[in-house]
Amino acid sequence: MSRFDKAVFFDFDGTITVRDCFMDTLRRQAPETYAEVVPEFIAGRVTLRDGLKQILAAIPQDRLPEMVECARGFEHRPGFVELLDYLDGIGAAALVVSSGLEAMVRASLGPLAERFVEIHAATVDPEAPNLLASSPFESEQELIAKAEVLKAFGAKHNAVIGDSITDRHIAKLADHVFARDRLVEYCTKDGVCFHPFEDFFEVKGKLVEVWGDESVTPTA
């Protein structure tokens, strides 16, 4: 059981960032493989894990520094810092669960990475000529099995913020789901209740409603 009573699991690409910057980066770095593989995993003929690994494996290792440097310029969604401040104020844990590369996630977050209790994303073998990705939470279907991260963390109350198919399974386990883009479709199809959002100010407002604002000192 976690020492935290409450936890919020943030997807990274398209959630913390305004755009899905990781997939944009993969498309630029391995255009031919990207064009071949992405339709396959969207259609369900290739797993997310295998599809991402195949695209990454088409990128030489010496391109990684360029990708990491590019990540430093990713734009974050409005209200991000304010939401982290709120979570700190109520003693809730913030975690990143990303199907992208940890080095890129950390580069994008910069000093804000220290605000997260855990960051889960893929790492690459530094000795391989190309980007061979893996993670401790890898499953047969996913490079990062986000639902397993939530279960392993063990908080009593959980919220999930996401935007895509990689957030589909973890959304089924959360008390509160904040969804945008394709995750809205998956939650609707799966019968999962969710709150639509465009920025983190909306997420913070809803969490204040359901979790309260314990950082505010009550007046006499």
Going from the N-terminus, what domains does the chain have, and what CATH number goes with each?
A: 6-22+73-209 (3.40.50.1000)
Hey, which residues does 27 pair with through a beta bridge? Answer: none
Question: Percent of the chain scored above 90 by pLDDT?
Answer: 88
Can you say whether residue 44 is alpha, beta or left, with left for phi > 0 and alpha for psi between -120 and 50 degrees? left
Instruction: Work out the number of other CB atoms within 10 angstroms of the CB of residue 43.
Output: 8
pLDDT in tens, 120-171: 999 999 999 999 999 999 999 999 999 999 999 999 999 999 999 899 999 9
Helix%, strand%, coil% for the chain, nearest 5: 50, 20, 35
Confidence of residue 213 (pLDDT cuts 50, 70, 90): confident
Question: How many Å apart are CA 175 and CA 19, to the nearest integer?
Answer: 26
pLDDT score for 216: 45
Report the predicted TM-score, pTM, of the whole model to 2 decimal places.
0.94
